[in-house]
Structure 1
Amino acid sequence: MSKSFEDLEVWKKACRQALVIYKTLKETKDYGLKNQMERSAVSVPSNIAEGQERDTKPDFIRFLRIAKGSNGELRTQLYLATKLEIISTEQSNELINENKQISKMLQGLINSVELQNG
């Protein structure tokens, strides 16, 4: 495992995703969806960090899976926010593409950690 979660590219990318979600939804008046999207976005890097800090391979994998689930939840909310015209189709496409990259990175990290000895 990495020395620190801060070294993980997927954690960095997930933090950037959360910041973009907050900035994108700053003026949104749909507080229910806004709150849920912000919570999902923050959950992704938070769970990566928590899993890494627990310092056991099974815990790290479990929290990476939780992060991946939160990432999927956020992607669903992005689709809904687009249909509700809270965010533009252009913004949504960019955010969804980034989100899908994060999901692939999380799966790759899960696979890598599962293959490690010890």
Structure 2
Amino acid sequence: MNFEKLEVWKRAARLSADVYKKTAYLKDFGFRDQLTRSSLSVPSNIAEGMTRESNKERLRFLDISRSSLAEARTQIYIGIDISYIDKNIGAQWINETIELSKMLTALKSKIKFDS
């Protein structure tokens, strides 16, 4: 399956790019790097998983993507609380991580059903 055609991959890549752009000003490099790494992990693992031969491997990488979404969401909540991330932007990102997680769950179900 061509991962570039997956809406979940497209949206995850856009979220990651947005996180990079909107946190570039942060001087707390540890926080910024952790958040950008977790957000970058999502589309990267979708891409890697969807190019694997076996469904078992695909599902494993989609699980990693979903876990990275939870990690990023946690960091976003903290970023909002410590005023690193604007509340409105953070709320948008949190909603997007929730939607992406649902999309990954649906994709996993489709892969399981098709096998």
- Alignment TM class, shorter chain as reference: over 0.9
Aligned counterpart, 2:73: 75
Report the aligned-residue RMSD.
0.7
Of the candidates 77, 94, 97, which is equivalent to residue 95 of structure 2? Answer: 97
How far apart are 1:112 and its partner, in Å? 1.0
Gaps of 5+ in 1: none
Gaps of 5+ in 2: none
Aligned counterpart, 1:8: 6
Superposition TM-score, scaled by structure 1 size? 0.95
Spell out, residue by residue over 1:6-64, the C-alpha distance to the aligned partner (whole angstroms, 9 max, x if none): 11110000000100100110101111110000000010000001111112111000100
Counterparts of residues 36-115 of structure 1 (less than 5 Å): 36-115=34-113
Q: Which runs of 4+ in 1 moved over 4 A?
A: none
Q: What percent of counterpart residues are identical?
A: 40
Spell out, residue by residue over 1:77-99, the C-alpha distance to the aligned partner (whole angstroms, 9 max, x if none): 00000011001111111111111
Letter in 2 for 1:16: R
Aligned counterpart, 1:30: 28
| Secondary structure in 1 matching 2:84 | coil
